[in-house]
């Protein structure tokens, strides 16, 4: 039975105060809505804003199912198991079982901050108190193990190669507990570990090289991935106003790489670590938001322009073998011959953040294409985390795009680094769906969901239902108590070629929408207005590199298709077939394609492929 729910939230973003006060929901009560004591990060220099999870709700869908599975996995790990190693390091009673995994099990601790962040974001979205209680209990258990001088690591080895890595994740987790749960104890612990870090690590950094691609050395304090630190330190500053974090963030600027992005000197980053360097570009985005220096905005727009040319595969992935290529020809060659084709959870997380920064500081819609591709071909294509006999924390690490006989499977070790980003990326999904400004509501992703916002003092609830991208129809319904004005905009994906069908309250029209831009569906709305959008989904091919013999991926809208158990990777298609819809039939999520000789290939979305099934990803089309 549906219930009308009333709630009030006070949200402060920069100097803008926004009140949320009522929405309809099937399964929430006023007490369960996460607005009491809610805070936000005061991002600056943004043209449009995210909702920072406030007023956004996932509705039933495969994405929500995966979200719940990822979060439940974190909830089901006993607290004593999470804390066993750090308690042992602190020489206090340490019941529970070892998690195991990388670095003698210590890396599971070094992703600890990401797990805290995922729980905090899940609480903000669902208001399920289990996430709040779990995150706070774990934070307090960890804080009891901070030594008098501020040393806070799980690993007692102060020369651990994960020195910067762990601190960065703890800044993330503690900031998010403060922002999304509202617990100020997190700020005390954040200040303590930052003071320790300022005293012990600020001079321990050096530039990465092709031979030393994450910039680490193993004598003294390691400087692994120091160039990612600015992002979360700037987030801490924007959340707290404490100048300490702003000043310390500036210490870690990666100016040579950022300058290379600005001038698009791709030779600089050839063979450097892909995931962490995209995270470093995220640090440049925060540097722009805090300092206002336009060169940092040029850094991230330059990043996207050049990476789209020479680093992104057709499905949005990057970093074959964990390395950047610096050249589209090298990308094409490496993509078809490396089983470790894409760090799916980690790199999806990095791309989610950076594409969102790009959208908010520029207002441009086309950056959302990357988000959408990473959603379906990245995190949705990853196998869920699980435990098995003798191995905990089984995690999908690398997507395999080898030219023939690719296969999905778990990584050989339990709890690798992607065990932190897998749940964190799913936790981030609700904040990727909608954007807003004072006059407009923007739809970036087509996912069953509900969002609530206030325009000119009037509340509006927008509900989105769809089976996209399996089907082409997306439905929106509007709920409000009075006639309301706001500009309702949707992102037109860059793969769109042709008219889209839009029906508003039964009136149908065909619109020649500009691919990669926002389309306004109208500005005047009333209760029970219904909008239906039909996208012209079709199968098409996209080359890795724009040359005759470059391998191609088969795509269906934003989704990469793979041929299960195909015996060859050459397909004969004539030009007329390529330029039209050469789909020979579709049954659910199975697609049938015939070549010029009548041979039929069976394709499925990569995110539908199950563990152990072989497939072909890229094809040479003659």
Please give the C-alpha separations between residue 82 and each of 8, 85, 107, 164, in angstroms, as whole numbers: 36, 8, 11, 20
How far apart CA 254 and CA 413 sit, in angstroms, is 32
Cα–Cα dist 210/183, whole Å:
42
Q: Classify 553 in phi/psi space as left (phi over 0), alpha (psi -120 to 50) or beta.
A: beta
Write down how long the chain is.
622
Taking only the tens place, the pLDDT of each residue in 294-327 is: 999 999 999 999 999 999 999 999 999 999 999 8
Dist CA 41 CA 353 (whole Å):
14
Residue 170 · residue 193 · CB < 8 Å: yes
Collapsed DSSP state (helix, strand, coil) of residue 408: coil
pLDDT at 109 over 90: no
Beta carbons within 8 Å of 375's beta carbon, 6+ residues apart: 63, 348, 429, 432, 445, 558
Taking a C-beta distance cutoff of 8 angstroms, is the pair 421, 432 a contact? no
More confident residue, 203 or 219: 203
pLDDT digits (tens, 9 = 90+) for 406-440: 899 999 999 999 999 999 999 999 999 999 999 99
Q: Where are the alpha helices (DSSP H) in 494-586?
A: 575-579
Buried b / exposed e over 6-39, threshold 16 CB at 10 Å, is ebebebebeeeebebebbebeebeeeebbbeebb
Pairing mode, if any, of strands 539-543 and 552-556?
antiparallel
Q: How confident is the model at residue 16 (pLDDT cuts 50, 70, 90)?
A: very low
Give the whole-angstrom CA distance, residue 297 versus residue 361: 8
| Mean pLDDT, range 571-578, rounded to an integer | 59
Looking at per-residue confidence, does 95 or 537 come out higher?
95
pTM attached to this predicted model: 0.92
Q: CA–CA separation, 30 vs 36, rounded Å?
A: 10
d(Cα 284, Cα 276) in Å, to the nearest integer?
13
Q: Tell me which of 258 and 215 has the higher pLDDT.
A: 258
User: In which band, very low, low, confident or very high, does the pLDDT at 402 lie, cut at 50, 70 and 90?
Assistant: confident
Express the helix, strand and coil content of the chain in percent, nearest 5 each.
40, 25, 40
The pLDDT, as a whole number, for residue 219 is 40
Is 226 in contact with 275 (CB distance < 8 Å)?
no
Which of 618, 607, 482, 449 is closest to 550 using CA atoms?
618
Cis peptide before 414 (omega within 30 of 0): no
DSSP result, 137-187? HHHHHHHTT--TT----SSS-TT-TTHHHHHHHHHHHHHHIIIII--THHH
- The SS3 of residue 79 is helix
Residue 103 · residue 420 · CB < 8 Å: no
Strand partners, 600: 594
Percent of the chain with pLDDT over 70: 87
Average pLDDT over residues 148-166: 82
Sign of torsion over alpha carbons 600, 605, 606, 607: negative
pLDDT of residue 295: 98
Task: State the Rg of the chain over Cα.
Answer: 24
| Predicted local distance difference test score (pLDDT) of residue 160 | 62
Whether 107 shows a pLDDT value over 90: the answer reads no
Q: How far apart are alpha carbons 16 and 8 in whole angstroms?
A: 16
Q: Which of 157-161, 182-186, 471-475, 496-500 has the lowest mean pLDDT?
A: 157-161
Q: Is 250 helix (H, G, I), strand (E, B) or coil?
A: helix
């Amino acid at each position: 039975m549906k219930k009308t729910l009333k709630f009030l939230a006070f949200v402060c973003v920069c100097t803008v105060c926004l009140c949320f006060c009522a929405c309809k929901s099937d399964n929430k009560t006023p007490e369960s809505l996460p607005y009491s004591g809610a805070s936000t990060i005061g991002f600056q220099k943004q043209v449009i804003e995210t909702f920072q999870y406030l007023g956004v709700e996932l509705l039933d869908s495969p994405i929500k199912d995966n979200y719940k599975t990822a979060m439940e996995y974190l909830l089901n790990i006993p607290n004593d198991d999470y804390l066993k190693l750090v308690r042992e390091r602190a020489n206090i009673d340490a019941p529970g079982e070892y998690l195991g995994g990388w670095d003698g099990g210590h890396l599971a601790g070094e992703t600890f901050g990401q797990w805290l962040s995922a729980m905090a974001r899940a609480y903000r979205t669902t208001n399920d108190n289990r996430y709040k209680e779990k995150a706070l209990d774990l934070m307090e258990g960890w804080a009891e193990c901070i030594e008098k001088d501020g040393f806070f690591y799980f690993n007692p080895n102060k020369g651990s190669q994960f020195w910067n890595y762990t601190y960065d994740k703890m800044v993330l987790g503690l900031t998010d507990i403060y922002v999304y749960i509202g617990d100020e104890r997190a700020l005390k612990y954040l200040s303590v570990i930052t003071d320790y870090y300022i005293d012990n690590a600020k001079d321990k950094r050096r530039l990465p090289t092709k031979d030393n691609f994450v910039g680490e050395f193993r004598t003294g304090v390691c400087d692994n991935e120091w160039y990612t630190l600015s992002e979360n330190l700037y987030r801490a500053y924007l959340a707290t106003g404490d100048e300490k974090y702003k000043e310390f963030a500036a210490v870690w600027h990666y100016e040579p790489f950022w300058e290379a992005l600005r001038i698009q000197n791709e030779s600089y980053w050839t063979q450097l670590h892909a995931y962490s360097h995209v995270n470093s570009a995220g640090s440049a985005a925060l540097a722009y938001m805090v300092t206002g220096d336009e060169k940092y905005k040029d850094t991230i727009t330059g990043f996207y322009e050049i990476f789209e040319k020479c680093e992104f595969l057709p499905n949005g992935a990057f970093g074959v073998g964990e390395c950047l290529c610096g050249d589209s020809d090298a990308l094409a060659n490496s993509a078809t011959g490396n089983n470790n084709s894409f760090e799916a959870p980690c790199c999806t997380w990095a791309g989610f953040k950076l594409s969102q920064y790009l959208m908010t500081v520029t207002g441009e819609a086309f950056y959302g294409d990357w988000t959408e591709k990473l959603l379906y071909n990245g995190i949705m294509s990853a196998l869920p985390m699980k435990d098995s006999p003798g191995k905990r924390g089984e995690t999908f690490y690398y997507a395999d795009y080898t030219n023939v006989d690719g296969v999905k499977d778990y990584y050989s070790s339990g709890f690798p680094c992607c065990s932190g980003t897998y749940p964190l990326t799913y936790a981030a999904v609700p904040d990727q769906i909608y954007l807003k400004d004072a006059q407009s509501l923007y739809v970036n992703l087509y996912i069953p969901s509900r969002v609530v916002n206030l325009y000119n003092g009037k509340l509006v609830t927008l509900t989105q239902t769809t089976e996209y991208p399996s089907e082409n129809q997306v439905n929106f319904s509007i709920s409000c108590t009075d006639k309301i004005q706001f500009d309702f905009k949707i992102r037109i994906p860059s793969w769109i070629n042709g008219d889209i069908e839009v029906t508003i309250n039964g009136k149908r029209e065909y619109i020649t929408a500009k691919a990669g831009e926002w389309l306004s569906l109208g500005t005047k709305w009333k209760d029970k207005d219904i909008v239906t959008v039909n996208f012209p989904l079709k199968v098409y091919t996209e080359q890795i590199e724009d040359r005759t013999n470059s391998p191609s991926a088969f795509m269906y809208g934003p989704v990469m298709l793979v041929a299960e158990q195909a015996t060859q990777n050459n397909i004969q298609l004539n030009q007329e077939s390529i330029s039209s819809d050469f789909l020979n039939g579709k049954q659910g999520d199975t697609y049938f394609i015939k070549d010029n000789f009548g041979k039929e290939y069976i394709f499925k979305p990569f995110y539908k492929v199950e563990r152990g099934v072989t497939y072909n990803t890229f094809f040479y089309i003659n």
